[in-house]
Structure 1
Amino acid sequence: MNTTLLSAMAALFGASIAGLTSVVTQRTQAKAEWLAHDRMRRQDLYKEFIEEASHCYVHALQHDEPDLAALVNLFAKISRMRVQSSTEVANEADQVGRKIVDTYHVPEKTFLQLREMLADGSIDILGRFSDVCRVEFDSLRAQQF
């Protein structure tokens, strides 16, 4: 075999491997960037949901009439979670929304009753939601590596 042909084939093979490595590296970086962006979007959505749910819950504890605009915003965030999040997160967010709506049907709470709810932990309707979100983020981090 001709040494020139052998050298040309080795160069072509080397260039092919380098190109393939570059494509794989770029694809891996693009996936990592997409996952990081997705995680940030979810974090922002969950933060907004927690703030909105907290506001709605306090309102429900203190009033008989619902704040419809706030509830619509809350359920809009839940709908966004159905698109962007795991089923577990979306379901738990839905449960939080239902608890808030149901709270409007119970008598208004006095400060003493709120203090008792704080002491026994029953005021925390977002605890399970936070736990499910943490599991989801752990899963997303595992996918990244």
Structure 2
Amino acid sequence: MDASLISGFAALAGAAIGGLTSATAGWLSQRYTAHAQWVANENLRRLDIYRDFIETASKCYIHALQHDEPDISGLVGLYTNISRMRVLSAAEVVEKAEQVAQRILDTYTEPDRSFAELRSMARNHAIDLLYDFSNACRLEHEHYRRRQL
């Protein structure tokens, strides 16, 4: 075999291997970037649902503390958010959200609270209905953030 042919084949093989390596690196980089963007978007979707749930639950809870008649539209919004969580969230977060909703429903059956009672509840942190739910959300958020890195 001629030395010039061997050199030509070596050059072609080197170029092919270099091109393949470059293409593979580009594909892997694109795949990683797409996955990171997807994880970030999913996290933002969850955070939006949690924000909406916290706002709705807070309004429903204060209404339940002061009224016997339930705020039906508020409760529907609350359960809508829980259903959205079932699609995206960890089971523990959904469970804590359901506990919040149940506590709100139970509060409607209790006597109305006066301002003095509400103030006392706030001082004793008894009014913080969303504590366990918020912690579950934070833990889930940290889990997904670690996964994204």
Question: Could you tell me the TM-score, scaled by structure 1's length?
Answer: 0.98
Partner of 1:35: 39
Structure 1 residue 42: deviation in Å?
A: 0.8
Structure 1 residue 69: deviation in Å?
A: 1.1
Partner of 2:26: 22
Partner of 2:56: 52
Structure 1 residue 125: deviation in Å?
A: 0.5
Question: Could you tell me the TM-score, scaled by structure 2's length?
Answer: 0.95
Q: How does 1:55-74 map to 2 (within 5 A)?
A: 55-74=59-78
Q: Which amino acid aligns with 1:136?
A: E
Q: Which amino acid aligns with 1:131?
A: N
Q: Which amino acid aligns with 2:17?
A: F
1:85-118 per-residue CA deviation (whole Å, 9 max, x = no partner) reads 1111111011101000000010000000001111
Partner of 1:102: 106
Residue 138 of structure 1 pairs with residue 142 of structure 2: yes
* Equivalent in 108, 120, 128 of residue 124 of structure 2: 120
Name segments (4+ residues, structure 1) moved above 3 Å: none
**Distance in 1 between residues matched to 2:145 and 2:99, nearest whole Å:** 26
Residue 85 of structure 1 pairs with residue 89 of structure 2: yes
Q: Which amino acid aligns with 1:95?
A: Q
* Equivalent in 4, 13, 23 of residue 9 of structure 1: 13
**Distance in 2 between residues matched to 1:93 and 1:24, nearest whole Å:** 38
**Distance in 2 between residues matched to 1:133 and 1:105, nearest whole Å:** 28
**Distance in 1 between residues matched to 2:45 and 2:23, nearest whole Å:** 33
- The number of equivalent residue pairs is 145
Unmatched 5+ stretches in structure 1 = none
Q: Which amino acid aligns with 1:37?
A: N
Aligned to 1:121, the other structure's residue is in SS state coil
**Distance in 2 between residues matched to 1:138 and 1:51, nearest whole Å:** 22
1:51-105 per-residue CA deviation (whole Å, 9 max, x = no partner) reads 0000000100000010111101100100110111111111101110100000001
**Distance in 1 between residues matched to 2:143 and 2:81, nearest whole Å:** 22
Determine what percentage of the aligned residue pairs are the same residue: 43
